[in-house]
Structure 1
Amino acid sequence: MASMGRFTVGSHVWVEDADVAWIDGLVEEVHGDELIINCTSGKKVTANVSSVYPKDVEVKRCGVEDMTRLAYLHEPGVLRNLKSRYGMNEIYTYTGNILIAVNPFQRLPHLYNDHMMEMYKGAEFGELSPHPFAMADRAYRLMMNYGTSQAILVSGESGAGKTESTKMLMQYLAFMGGKVESDGRSVQQQVLESNPVLEAFGNAKTVRNNNSSRFGKFVELQFDQNGKISGAAIRTYLLERSRVCQISDPERNYHCFYMLCAAPPEDRERYKLGDASLFHYLNQSNCIKLDGMDDSSEYIATRRAMDIVGISSDEQDAIFRVVAAILHLGNVEFSEGSEADSSVPKDDKSQFHLRTAAELFQV
């Protein structure tokens, strides 16, 4: 909370604004704990000192890479710096050893290619522009130098970019510690291909995010004494199970349902599936297809990822039989039976879906 004595006539300040969160201006009058501020937007406001913060007039227009160098590390100062850097196409900023990412809502493959990984390999932390690769390299170096486990916490609200950031961190660590296994599949490949599998069965479109993780995950990468990946373990938690049977418009259910409905004809025939819009668990929302996402090709990519991870064909078939059976169960409707408190499938359509679900569950 700001104190009364911090502001005088002519002070540059930030004041809360209902439309744009924070707006800057000059203090014109001071009346006790009330300030009259002439804002750069042209309007004049009266504000209590508790909702006003000092503005750093000497900060660079392009912002600073590390926000610990800001004169004032308060909310409007931080937001202004992030906005300035975003305007210069810089989506990453440090606050000490914390990396802040601003979601660009577009693909930027040039930021995450092999050339960039080579640049950050072994570079001093802070020597190059802020980047997830710098965070991953620092953790890797500390692990190798001190022989102790390291942890990287990725947090943020829905749509902030946690899923993508985690993938970048794993990509770099796999790059540093990759080695080829005897069967031709590298551990590096298996670690990275675990992401498409997890996303297919745990991610869905929400109002704010087309690929929102509806679960939490703890990823553990294991390294040997030479710094090479020797294994990996992923623990998932807090899966949003209620989404399976009830979704709201314009959200979607889990990606795997739509992928299976867009699978090649022979697979759809095996699981007795049709268009996604025919299933109650999917057509509760008007959003069936996603712009920029081809469910058919995503199905093929997911099956390939499952192969690389080591899930056998029989196990894959069992998994997709369960997915298909769930869709069929959602289409079963009941009506009153002849006995008290009894029910029977409503019609032939419900009978078909119930029988199909039983066949797929093999019961």
Structure 2
Amino acid sequence: MQAATEKITVGSQVWVADPSVAWIDGEMLKIDGTEAEIRTSDGKKVSCSYAPISIFILSTNFTISSEKKAGCQLCACKLIEFMDAIQSFNQFQLLTSLTFRHIYNVVTKLSKVYPKEMDYPDGGVDDMTKLSYLHEPGVLHNLAIRYERDKLYTYTGNILIAVNPFQSLPHLYDAHMMEKYKGAEFGDLSPHVFAIAEIAFREMVNGGKSNSILVSGESGAGKTETTKMLMRYLAHVGGHKGTEGRTVEQQVLESNPVLEAFGNAKTVRNNNSSRFGKFVEIQFDKRGRISGAAIRTYLLERSRVCQISDPERNYHCFYLLCAAPPEEVKKYKLGDPTSFHYLNQSNCYELVGVNDAHDYLATRRAMDTIGISQKEQDAIFRVVASILHLGNLEFAKGEEIDSAILKDEKSKFHLQVTAELLMCDLHALEDSLLKRLMVTPEEVIKRSLDPQGATFSRDSLAKTLYSRLFDW
């Protein structure tokens, strides 16, 4: 990003970097070679924590209380010198009043200064190609202005920029809104995710070629929700009746809660963060009706199965299963999430506004809709439960050197339950955790593992089980 320095003169309105708000506007006071002096329009937004070498405090006034009622004024003093000056007045007791003038002068490199848009609409512009200066502060300012007016979407040519509102806005995505954008020309209506879906759909139908929509952004940007809205719109415009009373579009849409249950988790930034990448392919016939769908997943965060930290959670499905109906909890020999090692590493067990018991039933219904049989569902949740029990295995030193054994009766119980849920031999499972096989051309060697090695083996098995389940 290059600053348009040739357009900046003394008196110009400009943008300058600020540590607290990213960019702050101001007036160019002086240009001296490659240096510029700028007065900000709102001094309160310039923090005294700004780099001392680049900030000068002019006419900064402060008073101190003392027996002598001394008053002092400090002028043109660098911040670090100002702090030293404060310390020198300790002999007059503590400072009881410290007052700054609220207009500061910021000195920065001219290459870090950008011209500010002058003829700027009050509500911003809906397409940022209309901006005279398409630089970072100009883009961020335009997005902020629109966001303050509840305008979440902004175009940059044929690219849609979405700002996550972090709240539910059903009126913005209801059937009426979908009908409004159906058949509309791109740019005729306000920027919206439905407009992007509509143009991709029309290009596919009219041109007879596949189209792609790339949804990208940092963690918490709203990629998951945006993808769901795209799928909803495409299901709306291309929907038709399927077999067995289920519509094809229903099956496409109900894949979302299933994927979210097993692939999403609470992170620091996002209560429903996707911990994997996905490629969603929605297939249409020649008349533009949905005929099927395929979802490919990539790069699942395997480590989360065994290791989490405050205030994050493990994958949703673990908490959903713990909140299942009593007969389900009893069948899988589960209990409170606090009793499982893979969940109690964090103190976050519940999400505000989320009912895990309700979501468990919703996930089961979604599985029914997309055609997962009851037998397959039972197998899925047996694996999920087995991972929780597996995580509660603890190991102690064995009698032999560098060997391990199950620590106590509690660990033996969880091992037995794990074997029952996985429908495998108890002794074979125990052996796989406590020993390692080394295969040579001549023979197969079994080597005992110490407690640390057995714990690593336990976590590796848990991650492999979950990863294979998710891929299935």
TM-score bracket for the superposition, by shorter chain length = over 0.9
Counterpart residue identity of residue 316, structure 1 = Q
Normalised by the length of structure 1, the TM-score is 0.99
Query: 379, 390, 395: which is aligned to 1:329?
Result: 390
CA contact under 8 A between 1:264 and 1:296: conserved in structure 2?
yes
Counterpart for residue 179 of structure 2: 118
Counterpart residue identity of residue 7, structure 2 = R
- Bigger shift: residues 343-352 or 186-195: 343-352
Residue 339 of structure 1, CA deviation: 3.1
Counterpart for residue 219 of structure 1: 280
Residue 296 of structure 1, CA deviation: 0.5
Counterpart for residue 28 of structure 1: 29
Distance (Å, rounded) in 1 between the aligned partners of 2:200 and 2:5: 44
Task: State the secondary structure of the residue aligned to 1:290.
Answer: coil
Residue 4 of structure 1, CA deviation: 4.6
Residue 337 of structure 1, CA deviation: 2.1
Residues 243-266 of structure 1 show CA distances to partners (whole Å, capped at 9, x for unaligned) of 000001110000000000000000
Counterpart for residue 139 of structure 1: 200
| Corresponding position: 1:129 with 2:180 | no
Distance (Å, rounded) in 1 between the aligned partners of 2:3 and 2:164: 31
Counterpart for residue 342 of structure 2: 281
Counterpart residue identity of residue 3, structure 2 = A
Residues 267-305 of structure 1 show CA distances to partners (whole Å, capped at 9, x for unaligned) of 001100000110000000010111111111010000000
Task: State the secondary structure of the residue aligned to 1:283.
Answer: coil
Normalised by the length of structure 2, the TM-score is 0.76
Residue 3 of structure 1, CA deviation: 5.5
Query: 292, 296, 299: which is aligned to 2:360?
Result: 299
Counterpart for residue 200 of structure 1: 261
Distance (Å, rounded) in 1 between the aligned partners of 2:294 and 2:152: 30
Counterpart for residue 67 of structure 2: none
Task: State the secondary structure of the residue aligned to 2:230.
Answer: helix
The percent identity for this pair of structures is 67
CA contact under 8 A between 1:10 and 1:26: conserved in structure 2?
yes
Counterpart residue identity of residue 22, structure 1 = W
Counterpart for residue 96 of structure 2: none
Unaligned runs of 5+ in 2: 43-102, 425-472
CA contact under 8 A between 2:279 and 2:297: conserved in structure 1?
yes
Counterpart residue identity of residue 122, structure 1 = G
Distance (Å, rounded) in 2 between the aligned partners of 1:4 and 1:228: 53
Distance (Å, rounded) in 2 between the aligned partners of 1:85 and 1:267: 48
| Corresponding position: 1:266 with 2:327 | yes
Distance (Å, rounded) in 1 between the aligned partners of 2:173 and 2:6: 48
Task: State the secondary structure of the residue aligned to 1:339.
Answer: coil
Distance (Å, rounded) in 1 between the aligned partners of 2:391 and 2:4: 60
Residues 147-205 of structure 1 show CA distances to partners (whole Å, capped at 9, x for unaligned) of 00000000000000000000000000000111111311011000000000000000000
Q: How many residues align?
A: 363
Residues 98-117 of structure 1 show CA distances to partners (whole Å, capped at 9, x for unaligned) of 01001111000000010000
Residue 336 of structure 1, CA deviation: 1.8
CA contact under 8 A between 1:4 and 1:32: conserved in structure 2?
no
**CA RMSD for the aligned pairs?**
0.8
Counterpart for residue 437 of structure 2: none
Counterpart for residue 16 of structure 2: 15
| Corresponding position: 1:88 with 2:149 | yes
Distance (Å, rounded) in 2 between the aligned partners of 1:26 and 1:127: 37
Query: 240, 244, 252: which is aligned to 1:183?
Result: 244
Counterpart for residue 400 of structure 2: 339
Counterpart residue identity of residue 40, structure 2 = C
Counterpart residue identity of residue 15, structure 2 = W
| Corresponding position: 1:158 with 2:159 | no
Residues 4-51 of structure 1 show CA distances to partners (whole Å, capped at 9, x for unaligned) of 533211111100011110000111111111111111013211121110
Counterpart residue identity of residue 28, structure 1 = L
Distance (Å, rounded) in 2 between the aligned partners of 1:301 and 1:326: 22
